Amino acid sequence: LRANGINDERVLNAIRTVPRLLFIHEVLAPRAYEDTALPIGQGQTISQPWVVARMTEALMESEPRKVLEVGTGSGYQAAVLAALGLEVHTVERIGELLRVARKRFRTLGLTVRSKHDDGRAGWPENGPFDAILVTAAAPALVDELKAQLVPGGVLIAPVGPANSQSLVRIRQRADGGFDEEVLAPVVFVPLLSGTVD
Ligand code: SAH
């Protein structure tokens, strides 16, 4: 990760601390530390480590304390955020994935607040958040999520169609508008609506 431009020592340490092996099925164990996305069932994937590192680094630049993740999946990204000492809230639409992710948080002794819901609505009761990370791609940034940022807060999300997504970071300005930067080309599974068991 360092050779590929990740240089926030806090992020590198957190990634070193959280065993990715525990977030995948045992048949994939030999590939746990490859820098690739891997299937986690239900048609979903655990993100590529470089993408997790880059998103986390982009989020840490604003020194957040309280963060929301949309798309818990395996729980790996949330665990990395918790290992950084952040107050982590995460929402997942597939109940079965969330049940397994919660077991992993318990096994690792990490405190992560989670709920089974459509994360496009955010988590208004627990907001506002210093930073919001979306780990599934949508055609555009979701307004409900922007509305749950503190002033100066950042939202990091993959935006665009399946074959050409960009990782985008927006920051709320004092006048209420948003500054937007494109961080990297990425590939994420789609942000879908509703929930499934
Ligand atoms: N952050 C995850 C990556 C999981 S892939 C990890 O570290 O493993 C993206 C996840 O987003 C999938 O689990 C998918 O079910 C979930 N997802 C897609 N649309 C969603 C929505 N509207 N609300 C919540 N989760 C969603």
pLDDT tens column, 5-44: 999 999 999 999 999 999 999 999 999 999 999 999 999 9
Find residue 156's DSSP bridge partners. Answer: 133, 169
pTM for this structure?
Answer: 0.97
pLDDT tens column, 71-93: 999 999 999 999 999 999 999 99
SS3 183: strand
Find residue 90's DSSP bridge partners. Answer: 69, 114
Judge whether 74 counts as a catalytic residue. no
What is the whole-number distance in angstroms between the Cα of residue 90 and the centre of ligand 1?
Answer: 10
Share above pLDDT 90 across residues of the chain, in percent, rounded to a whole number: 96
What's the CA gap between 29 and 23, in Å, rounded? 10
The yes-or-no verdict on residue 195 having pLDDT over 90 is: yes
User: What is the arithmetic mean of pLDDT over 189-193?
Assistant: 96
Cβ contact 69:98 at 8 Å: no
Of 78, 70, 77, 74, nearest to 100 (Cα)? 74
Indicate which residue of 47, 114, 164, 166 is catalytic. Answer: 47
Half-sphere exposure of 102 (CA within 13 A, CB side): 13
For ligand 1, whether the C-beta of 119 sits within 6 Å is: yes
The yes-or-no verdict on residue 163 having pLDDT over 90 is: no
For ligand 1, whether the C-beta of 91 sits within 6 Å is: yes
Cβ contact 155:132 at 8 Å: yes
pLDDT tens column, 97-126: 999 999 999 999 999 999 999 999 999 999
pLDDT tens column, 168-188: 999 998 888 999 999 999 999
Cβ contact 144:63 at 8 Å: no
What's the CA gap between 53 and 125, in Å, rounded? 28
Convert 61-93 to b/e letters by CB count within 10 Å (16 or more is b).
Answer: eeebebbbbbbbbbbbbbbbbbbbebbbbbbbb
Taking CA atoms, 47 is separated from 32, 77, 136, in Å, by 11, 8, 10
What is the whole-number distance in angstroms between the Cα of residue 174 and the centre of ligand 1?
Answer: 31
The yes-or-no verdict on residue 162 having pLDDT over 90 is: no
